[in-house]
Amino acid sequence: MSLIISSTTSAVFFTVSADKKGDCDVDIYYKNENSYMKIALTFDDGPHPRYTGQILDVLEEYDIKATFFVVGVNAKNYPDSLIDVIKKGHEIGNHTYSHPHVSGLNTYTLTDEVEKCESTIYGLTDYKTKLFRPPEGMIDADVRTVLRSLDYKVIMWDIDTRDWAHEPPEKIAENVISNIASGDIILMHDYIGHNSPTVEAIKIFIPVLLEKGYKFVVVSELIGIE
């Protein structure tokens, strides 16, 4: 049975226990309510020369670190963008090599997708990550088993900004500002094709959230696995 995780504001950090198939438990994180006034910005699907650099500039302006869930093939095609992300002190996560629909993939193919992304990032940068986000947030028992065997933490999200749906920047910002709470993980994208609203949206909501007293941290700090 597959479980499709979409936008939700009520999900919490929890650990999925071993199911009837045996030892396939894996830590899955949606947020960490114990992380007072800390929040984590995450960007999926890059790196990409069009938007990743613009996002880095905004983050630098506010001295914020974020977590980028990288697609291996994009890292391979745009290594300079990946290197920029790491040089500026941000965190990297694994988002598979080719961004397939992972639910339903056989174990061998899924393992290959994760390991190929891992080796691509490491080969370009010497960077190792044990954070994983499944494409489209799809996860089932087989996916959990593979991620557990590879010793990954699965990072979901609590706030879906819907930048992927090309919502207007003002609407994205309002969605974040009105729903934010301590420990939230915010889903955004540094590659969604043309006319991305992401850069303009973070320019609006980052200063508002800072003014409210929130502190932006990388995911590993938010969930306490530094």
CB 24 within 8 A of CB 141: yes
> Kind of pairing, strands 153-155 and 26-29?
parallel
Q: Which residues contact 48 (CB under 8 A, 6 or more apart)?
A: 74, 78, 81, 190, 191
Nearest to 85 by CA among 132, 121, 123: 121
**CB nearer Zn ion, residue 85 or residue 209:** 85
Backbone torsions φ then ψ of 31, nearest 5 degrees: -170, 175
Nearest distance, CB of residue 215 and Zn ion, angstroms: 26
Residue 45 in contact with Zn ion, rule: CB under 5 A: yes
Residue 135 in contact with Zn ion, rule: CB under 5 A: yes
Q: How many residues bind Zn ion (CB under 5 A)?
A: 3
Residue 190 in contact with Zn ion, rule: CB under 5 A: no
C-beta nearest to Zn ion: residue:
44
Residue 163 in contact with Zn ion, rule: CB under 5 A: no
Beta-strand ranges (E) seen in the chain are 2-4, 14-16, 26-29, 38-44, 67-70, 91-94, 131-132, 138-140, 153-155, 159-160, 185-189, 215-216
- Catalytic-role residue among 90, 95, 99, 189: 189
44 assigned to active site: yes
**CB nearer Zn ion, residue 35 or residue 96:** 96
Nearest distance, CB of residue 69 and Zn ion, angstroms: 7
151 assigned to active site: no
**CB nearer Zn ion, residue 137 or residue 169:** 137
When binding is defined by CB under 5 A, the residue of 13, 29, 44, 47 that contacts Zn ion is: 44
The set of catalytic residues is 44, 189
